Amino acid sequence: MDIVYIRDLRINAVIGIYEWEQRIHQQISVNLEMGWDNRPAAHSDDIRDTLNYKEAANLVKSMVAKSKFKLVEALAEHIAELLLEKMNIPWIRVTLGKPMAVTGSQEVGVSIERTREVT
């Protein structure tokens, strides 16, 4: 399987376990790796045969703008669920980082992998 990726998508989000964090926006970093068969697009050279990464980024930005999660784990899970469903992809890895959440660190976060349920 091929991978279509987006690295270091910076989004302002309401996220955090503390009351003051639920009143402000903090910048998070989102990295996406999405499984996709790129052969049809490679042969046709047609955007309609690709996984539209701009659409994926816009879906994530829109969802995050409306969300108020406490945990990065919850936000990462919701991003994965959204893209698996809306983009019809078979597999995704979401890495979500929250810069400076721990004193002395550049960033903390989670990385999850999910597959679409086939029924």
Query: Catalytic site residues?
Result: 98
Axis crossing angle, helix 72-86 with helix 53-66, rounded to the nearest 10: 140
Contacts of 58 (CB under 8 A, 6+ apart): none
Rounded Cα distance between 87 and 79, Å, is 11
